[in-house]
Amino acid sequence: MRPYPAAFAEMLHCTLLGQLRNRMALLLAVAFIPAWIAVARLCASDREVRFSLDSLGTQAVSQASHVSQVVNALAAVTLVTGFVTFMETFKAGEMDRRLLLAGYPRVPMLLAKVTAVALIAALLALYTVAVLGASVSVRQLGPLALGLFGAGLAYGGIGLLLGSLVRGELEGFFLVIMLSLVDTGLQNPVFTVVDLSGLEVLPLYGANQLTLAAAFTSGIPWTHSLLSLAWAAATSAAALLVFHVRTRSHCAVGTAATGVPAPVTAAGPPEAAVRTSLRRSR
């Protein structure tokens, strides 16, 4: 078996390749984000909205249509990242289990998936900032991109966890949709008429505070960006734990049946097994 870095690089390459071949993921990324922002622009009014930013201890004022576009952009990033991550993780589950039986290490496999999530979230954040900047006068583009990136990381980790946990695609899609709708809906200043407590525990709280502050104020709540990283780290660790628990019994059965560890030579090195499985899936 090759060292961990080689296993990580090969799995990262294959994961990104699988994402590029996912036409639904590409369609969601390219079309859904600007469409969802356009819907907010057309449906929201131009009345002024005053809302509180707890992260800065101040209030901001902007047009309802502009606030809705920023919130919808955040929601679109979460939905797209959550969907594509869940789809890739769920569909690759059987191949991942076979690779483990062939001797592929778990940690590089998950780290490669998390790195792929980070790359996808970064690309979506840059694309969304470009689309959003064409219709909204954003004060700070850099922090806005950071907030969108954090939202993608948080829901990418959630998609990774759901892909390892649920038994069917419908359950995963439903959970991603409902969690995103509740998360963004409760924190939307246009719809929220009372101050709610306990929002700090939601996955998007830090990203929502950062994006709204970056779009409509000159302040930046840098510490709130760490909340998204904490959610991504926690869900990724939980996904590793679930994957370890579910696959350990398979590996133990294979070892007990033969009396020796599952042979790597039957399928070649793990990197070759990845390439073979990808060729078969074409």
Domain locations along the chain: 4-281
* Segment of 52-61, 151-160, 162-171 carrying the highest mean pLDDT: 151-160
Cα–Cα dist 29/121, whole Å: 10
pLDDT at 9 over 50: yes
Query: Quick check: helix, strand or coil at residue 180?
Result: helix
Which pairs from 63-66 meet CB under 8 Å and 24+ separation? 64/190, 65/40, 65/41, 66/136, 66/137, 66/215, 66/216
Cα–Cα dist 217/56, whole Å: 10
Q: Which residues of 152-174 are buried (b: 16+ CB within 10 A; e: fewer)?
A: bbbbbbbbbbbbbbbeeeeebbe
pLDDT at 66 (0 to 100): 92
Structure-model confidence comparison of residues 148 and 263, the more confident one: 148
> Region 209-221: what's the mean pLDDT?
91
pLDDT at 162 (0 to 100): 93
How many Cβ atoms sit within 10 Å of the Cβ of residue 45?
A: 11
pLDDT at 20 (0 to 100): 79
> Region 144-164: what's the mean pLDDT?
93
> Region 185-198: what's the mean pLDDT?
76
Cα–Cα dist 1/162, whole Å: 29
Structure-model confidence comparison of residues 257 and 150, the more confident one: 150
The predicted-structure confidence for 99-128, as pLDDT tens digits, reads as follows 888 888 888 888 898 899 999 999 999 999
Query: Quick check: helix, strand or coil at residue 266?
Result: coil
pLDDT at 18 (0 to 100): 80
pLDDT at 275 (0 to 100): 55
The predicted-structure confidence for 16-44, as pLDDT tens digits, reads as follows 888 878 777 788 788 899 999 999 888 88
The predicted-structure confidence for 51-86, as pLDDT tens digits, reads as follows 888 888 888 888 989 999 999 999 999 999 999 999
Tokens for 77, please give them. 């990033």
Count of helices and strands (H, E) across the chain: 11, 2
pTM assigned to the model: 0.84
